[in-house]
Each structure stands twice: as C-alpha cells, then as structure tokens.
Chains A and B, each alone.
Chain A
Amino acid sequence: MLSDRPITPSTLGVKDLPWQIEWDKDLCTQCGRCTSVCPVSAIELGVFRKRTIVTPAGLRKKPSNEHSIFYGIRQKTDPAYGCIGCSMCNMVCPNNAIQPNRDEGSTTLKYHNDRGGQPRTRGGRRNSEESLLDQIKFMRISMLTDPALDAGRHEFSLNTLLGRVLSPEQSLKCMAENGWKPPVREIYPLVIGGMSFGALSPNMWEGLQMGVAYLNEELGMPVRISTGEGGCPPRLLRSKFLKYVILQIASGYFGWDEIIHAIPEMQVDPCAIEIKYGQGAKPGDGGLLMWHKVNKLIAAIRGVPTGISLPSPPTHQTQYSIEESVAKMIQSMSMAWGFRVPVYPKISASSTSLAVLNNLTRNPYAAGLAIDGEDGGTGAAYNVSMNHMGHPIASNLRDCYNALVVTGQQNELPLMAGGGIGKSGNLAANAAALIMLGASAVQVGKYVMQAGAGCLGSEKDRCNVCNIGICPKGITSQDPRLYRRLDPEKVAERVVDFYLSFDTEIKKIIAPLGRSSSLPIGMSDALGISDRDAAERLGIKYVV
C-alpha cells in the first residue's frame, strides 16, 4: 500500500460503505472460501503488517521493534466493489469468522455508485419497508349471532375464476342459444407472477415448474404460474403441464416465435395468455435483460444472439394506442388458440388503470385485468424508477373494483392484484386484504423467490444484484457455476411448502369471518385500518 494514498473525489473509507465486513483474525483459518464466493469481489486476501514493540525486563536494554506480517481478509473500498451484504461469505466460512454488518449511517456510497456516468441499476426491491397492506386488520369476526367456523375442520372453497364470466342473464341466454362462451379457468387465487426464463436461472425455473406441477397433480391445488416475457422451453410447450402455465407476451415479443410454432403440437392449451404492458416497480419502462445473462440457452429460446442486452420497449411499438393495442392483442391472441384460452392484459397500477379497465369491460374477449403496484420486484431497473415511480396497489385496485361495482361487472371481469404482497412475510394476510378489497386473485413473484429459493435480498438494499447475473444463490444467474448451487427439487419442495402454509393461513383468516363457500372478494366490511385517510380512501372502517 502506498504511503501517500491518493485521496480522489470518490475515495471511500470502509466506514463509508453501507455494508462493512467484520472479520475475526483469531477464528479465520485462511481457507479463502469467502473471497472466492463473494459475488462482487468485495473482499480479497490481504497481507497485513504488524509492528510489535518488545520491551525487555529491566532498564538496561532499549525496547525494540519487531515487524511481522499476517494474512487475512481485506474489504475493498472501491465503490465498484462495494459489499452488498449478501452474507455468502458467512455462509461458506467454516469458522464463522466473517460477516457483513450494515452501517445505517453510511450513505456516502450512494453518491459514488454511478461511476462512468451511468446511474445505478439494481434488481429486486423498492427498499422501503413500510406496507399499507400490513396495517389492515380483519375485524368483522363472527361471534355473536353465529359461531366462527373451524378453519381446521370445515370445507373451504378457495378457488377463483380467471376469464370473463358472463352475467347470469347473458349466461342463460348463451346456453339457450348455444352461443360462444368466453373461456374461464378455475384457479387458486395465489398466482406466481411473471418471472421470465432468462431472468431466472434454469434451475430456479425448473424448481418452480416442478412445484406447480406437484401442487396440481398431487395436491389438487390449481396453482398457476406466469412465464414472464422470454418464452417458454420447447419441451414444456409440448407437455401436458402447459395447462398450468400462463404464457406472457410483452413488448419485446421474446420467445414468441417458438410459442407460435409450437401451437400445432401443443397437447393442451395454456391456462391463459397475459399481455404485459407494464410492471409496477418501473411503470412506463420496458423490461431489460442485461447482456450478462444472455447465454446460449437463453439466446436459443428467445431467438437472439448471445451476450447482448435485451431491452423490451415500454410500449408495444406496433400498436397505435393502448385502446387499440388492448383490443387488437386480445383479439389476435384469442384467435391464435381458437378462442379457447383467456387473454388478459397486465398493466402497472397508475392513474390510467381505470381507463384501461373501462376499455376492457366493453371488450367481450377480455378475460380480466392484472394490476401491478409499485412494490413489486423487478429484475432490472434504475434506482430512480424503482424508488420513486409507481402507484401503490391497494387504492388502485379498490378504485378499479368500485368502478366495476358501479357497472355491475364485479367479478365478471376478474381483477388480479400484485406488487408488494408478502413483502414483509405476511403473504396470506396481504393477499386476503387485497381479495377483500376486490381482487379475484393475487400475483406474487418476489415472495416466491424469497421463500422458494432462499433469496438473500432484502428491502434494506441487501444483495439486489439480480440484474447482473451474479446472484450468489443462483436464482437469477445464467452462469452454471452459480445456478448449480440451487437444487431445483428443493425449490419445488419449498414452493409446495409455502403454498400449503398459505392455504392454512388464509383459512385461518376467513374462517373467523364466517366465510367458507366462496372467496370473500369485496368483503370490505371485514377490514379496518388505523389510518383515517387510508380508511376513507379505501372505503373500509377506521379503527384505532
């Protein structure tokens, strides 16, 4: 190390980093595992100098200096190598000699993150921990007039419908006239939201698909998974498991060649087609699969060269307007499968949600609307988009539901809500709250990652490097050295586990409310919140 280290504008001390490595010299056996596993090379083997002053007994001899060196772990202070707090070093250390610690006071790295004139992009989360959904309480407990139900013993019907449901009058007329009926699927109300093949590693994808297949085939839970943009492996397209899959088409149309070509060979229809117009965590911004992740497999499935960034534009560029786009895309996608498959758009929760909904209510082929709130996770976005843009899901969903109530089409056009459900771990409670606010189903992506594969990220800007292909757990990495860490079987097992726990928990919530034979969609009288403005906005009870 230079004796006169240059101090430049972006020179940082370890103290300036949000995550600081605590390393114990006495415990460390210098095996080197931590440095080799660190996804961002934040630590390196270091040579340290030690000076010891030796003071002989008595005064006759003068004290002397003894110089020695020892080896250890050093944290880099270059902003490009800032520790992301993933704690992989701790996980692999045989001696528990190392761990990252968050220093709440260090914000300096923020100012130096954007080196090279590129603002920081990050994967993952909004980094705000508060959630309105967590504040909602269920309070209309059946007790006086009637006893509450027994969540453990009663039969519960939790399935919901995806697809346009005809009104009773229309439906009887249609039966009498033998007319065309829009396709409707009965699904479990917790849907795995779009995380693409490309964004996720093959092992993660396989794990999810296996989990979903197990839930369906063995446990009879009609769980559905959206592919996200990026296509679907050809073998899955031609398998009978396709019926558990919602194929997503987005503005990049990645992978659609493959899908279209597979149609004649499909054994079963997919569950539905989701047309993605926006995602809540970066509304108005397209998707981006960064070049790090575009390996041969991904390139083959998406039909692109390897090693190039794959941006999806924020709009479907071939369409003139959202109205036209919604109408045309729905029409053509429905047509592709002979009007046997529900087709619905997914949009970011925004001030125009109602307008889109309005277009859909008058479109007989629209099978629903998925709305994604700001709190959703995303594989890649600029910090500024993720932190400062978007609309929270609760009020947006409520507005949409109420708009449907006015026209008497509630549940005829099912609403799916996503974005921040279970972000603090309260999956069932958050989902139940949204259902009671009017959602027919909820979509979760982030929670599935966190629970299914043990994602390391947090809402405190921990890890959040999903976008650059170095996910230390191998969830969002296309590097076989990394994704081999993830055992797909275990992912499947965890997915099944959390679905079953969700099932138990949601019953625990709705049984005391006295509901068992239908999902309590729109049961807003059961909800209360201690924030007066929120109560008024959502039309639920204000309680303190």
Chain B
Amino acid sequence: MCRLFALTSRDPISPMRAIDALNVMKEGHDGSGVGLYLNGLSGPFEELKDCPILSGIFTEAGLRRLDQYSMDKGFKSKFSILYAPDGPPPVGTPVRGTYAAIAYSVPKGWENLSEAEQGSRLVQMRLDLKKMGEESGDMMVFSFWPDTIVIKEVGDPLEIGEYLQLDRNKDIYARRILAQGRQNTNYAINLYACHPFFIEGVASMTNGENTAFIPIKEYLQSRNITGYSGYQSDSEVFTHIAHYTTKRLGLDIRAYKHIITPLSDSEIAEHPDREFLTELKRSCRKLIIDGPNCVIGCLPGGRMFMTQDRKKFRPGIVGGKDGIFGFSSEVCGLNAAIPDRDKSKDFQPMHLDTVIVGPDCKEIIQCSQTDQLPRQL
C-alpha cells in the first residue's frame, strides 16, 4: 500500500523533510517510486509567481525540442533549474537525463485571456508535450502551471531524494509539499501513474484501490474537459473530481466529500442542506468512489485537505503546530516530520470528515459531512 505524506508550512521547507517521513513509513511501500508536488516555492520562483513552470524529465534532444516548441508558442524561459545527476542512479532507477523545472513568461496578449482560457491552454500544452514525449521517449512532462513543480521517479524515495540532491537546492524549497512513496501493485511501473496527480492547480494523492475506476473514468472523459485524460492509475480520477468540483461546479472543497462519498438517504433527510445534497448526490452519482481510499490534496490558493472514503479502510492523520502541519497516512511519519507538536491535537478524520489547513497554517479545520454547508453552496 502506498504511503502518503504532506506538509504545509508558513515558511519554505525542504522536500527532504517529507521524504524522510516517507522513509520512516517504509514498511508500507516497496520503494518502487516517489512522487513530489511542490507549491508555494521559494527563491527565484517566488518572484516569478505568475509564470507557468514546466516540470519534467528530458533528454538532450527533448530539451531542444522543448525550446523549439515553447519558442513557437511565444513562451520565453525566465528561470530554470536543470539538474542532470552525474553519479550512477540508485538500483532500479533508469538513467534519464535532465530533471527540469523551467519558468516561462507568457506570450503577449495572454493577459487579456480569461483565467479559464489560460488554464485550458496551459493544460493543452502540457498534453501536447506529453504526447510528443511519448512518441519519441525524450520528454516526460508532469506539470505546467505557475508556482508548481512535480517530480516523479522510480526507486526508493530516500535514495532518489539524495540522488537528485533535493536538500541542496534552496530554490525548490516549498511551502506545500505532497509526497508519495509508491507501492507498485496493479499495474506496470509507469511514471505517469505515480501520484500526486495534478491539473490546473489542483493536486492530490491517494492510497488504496478505486474499484469504481472504470465508470468514473468514462464519466470524466465524457465531460469534454481538457486534461481529463491519461488515467494510467485508478487514483488519477480523484484529482480530476476535485478539479471538477471546485473549478467546474464552483463548489467549495467541503462539497468534495459529498460528491465522492455522499451521505446515506436517511442521513441526508436529517441534514439542513437536504435539498442541495439530494440533488448533488443524484447528479454526481457517477463520481461516487467505492474506495477504500484516503485522499490528500492541495488546492489553488494553498489550502491542503485530507478526506477518507466511507468505509475508512485507509487511515490518515493530521497534526502539527502553528506554522507547520503534516498530513500522513501513518502516525510514525508525522512523528518523524513534526516531533515537537502537541500530539493530543492530532486528528484522524473519520468517514464523515474533511480536514482542511489553510495557507496561513494556523489550525486544523475539521468539517463533518453532517454540518451545514457554507451559504454560497
């Protein structure tokens, strides 16, 4: 079973802190891969907050093709971190080439586009590049979005972290980090199948098996939304549902839980928002997950959340102190990352709960599905 660890902090921290936590939880993953999502970046990237950052792995030829492609589109590279490790990679990790995060300035005229239009164009470019890379094997693209870096690699998280020298480079310190230690299960190893998944500022990762994958996938694909594709992992749909909920339906993340795991009819009958919830349950019936899963995610604006499937076979725990909070699939991971917190304030979301920590990293906000929803919903 994959292990998940996420940190949200007021000050930028090293992604190694999350990887160390994963390492403590090693019992649960076989070191077959690691995925990192970094948001709220520090250093030069912080100055370039509005510039989309492309992150991925490229060969020499791939980089050249990327240059050509971005030039043709009118994108100019502003700052980049290109890291080509010189030592031999850890056992099981292939030699890839250059791990890159490149921030671009957008072409003239983009400012006039609506936010949604900009977003869908960026997604389309990422998909184009991914496709180009799949054809020739010279590029792998994980994200293309402002203030966002996604790193994925096959191998043991700790070894990969050291191999990529993540600790050294202060420029990739981040305020919000999602990290997953992969346990390869159902499918062949494929970097695109590695969590966290990302679309238009929404990232999430999951452990467990999504048994409703095929119908959900078919449903999402039929929504005609750029970027609802790929699906090399049964968990990628969780990210897209979060995206659909927040960006398409314009609902708060608290509605997410009502979509993926609606209340039972008798519970809804007691709920102050019963009409809204009945409608939501009916119209979003296709998006009900059948788990078991724990979902940890991060939203545009820097809110981090954790929620559970209804059966709650996968545990999860949230804890921390003013300024830094951790979301973990195991308490030992949390202990390793934030040992000096007040453990009595740790919270394990149960089957009705969603837990949110805002970008201010002040407190854990717990919402139960039985609570009244905010006004605008």
Contact = CB atoms under 8 A, between A and B. Distances in A.
Interface of A: 140, 142, 144-147, 149, 154-155, 157, 159, 161, 165-172, 174-175, 181, 184, 186, 405-411, 513-518, 520-525
Contacts of B71: none
B282 A516 contact: no
Given A145-B209, A405-B219, A523-B211, 15 more contacts: A142-B209, A145-B186, A165-B282, A168-B244, A168-B248, A168-B249, A171-B282, A174-B279, A184-B282, A408-B223, A410-B215, A411-B285, A517-B311, A522-B218, A525-B214
A524 B215 CA distance: 8
Contacts of B211: 140, 142, 513-515, 523
Q: Which of A171, A407, A517 has the most CB of B within 10 A?
A: A517
22 contacts: A145-B1, A149-B311, A155-B264, A157-B264, A165-B285, A166-B283, A167-B283, A168-B280, A172-B283, A175-B275, A408-B224, A409-B222, A411-B286, A514-B290, A517-B291, A518-B288, A518-B290, A520-B212, A522-B218, A523-B211, A523-B212, A525-B214
B284 interface: yes
B185 interface: yes
Given A146-B292, A149-B311, A513-B211, A170 B283 contact: yes
Nearest to A155: B264
A525 B215 CA distance: 9
A31 B250 CA distance: 80
B310 interface: yes
B186 A515 contact: no
A343 B97 CA distance: 61
Contact of B283 (A171, A513, A515, A523): A171
Nearest to B208: A146
Contact of B286 (A142, A174, A410): A410
A145 B212 contact: no
- Tell me if A's interface is mostly helix, strand, loop or mixed: loop
A401 B218 CA distance: 11
Nearest to A181: B279
Nearest to A154: B311
A523 B214 contact: yes
Contacts of A165: 282-283, 285
B127 to A, nearest CB: 19
Contacts of B213: 525
Q: Which of B249, B265, B280, B292 has the most CB of A within 10 A?
A: B292
B69 interface: no
A152 B211 CA distance: 19
A409 B223 CA distance: 9
A187 B28 CA distance: 42
Interface string B282-318: 1111101111100000000000000000110100000
B284 A168 contact: yes
B219 A408 contact: yes
Contacts of A167: 283
B290 A516 contact: yes
Nearest to B219: A410
A39 B264 CA distance: 51
A528 to B, nearest CB: 14
A169 B249 contact: yes
B163 interface: no
Given A144-B186, A146-B292, A520 B279 contact: no
B83 interface: no
A410 B284 CA distance: 11
Given A168-B249, A169-B248, A410-B222, A175 B290 contact: no
Interface residues of B, number: 41
5 pairs of A and B residues whose beta carbons are closest in the complex? A408-B222, A514-B211, A171-B283, A145-B209, A518-B288
Contact of B311 (A411, A516, A523): A516
Contacts of B248: 168-169
Contacts of B244: 168
Contacts of A523: 211-212, 214-215
Nearest to B250: A172
A407 B222 contact: yes
Interface string B233-250: 000000000001000111
B265 to A, nearest CB: 7
A149 B249 CA distance: 32
B185 A144 contact: yes
B185 A145 contact: yes
Contacts of A407: 222
B261 interface: yes
A408 B244 CA distance: 14
A164 to B, nearest CB: 10
Given A411-B285, A518-B288, A522-B215, A146 B313 contact: yes
A165 B286 CA distance: 11
Contact of A175 (B223, B279, B284): B279
Nearest to A159: B265
Interface string B195-225: 0000000000000110111110011001110
Contacts of B291: 514, 517
Contacts of A186: 265
A351 to B, nearest CB: 24
A171 B280 contact: yes
Contacts of B311: 149, 154, 516-517
Contacts of B185: 144-145
Contacts of A170: 283
A377 to B, nearest CB: 31
B276 A175 contact: yes
B238 to A, nearest CB: 15
Nearest to A401: B218
Contacts of A525: 213-214
A19 to B, nearest CB: 48
A521 B290 contact: no
B249 A172 contact: yes
B214 A524 contact: yes
Contact of A168 (B222, B224, B283, B288): B283
A406 B186 contact: no
A155 B267 CA distance: 14
A523 B218 CA distance: 10
Contacts of B219: 405, 408, 410-411
A201 to B, nearest CB: 36
A410 B290 CA distance: 18
A522 B214 contact: yes
Nearest to A161: B282
Contacts of A147: 313
A277 B359 CA distance: 59
A88 B195 CA distance: 66
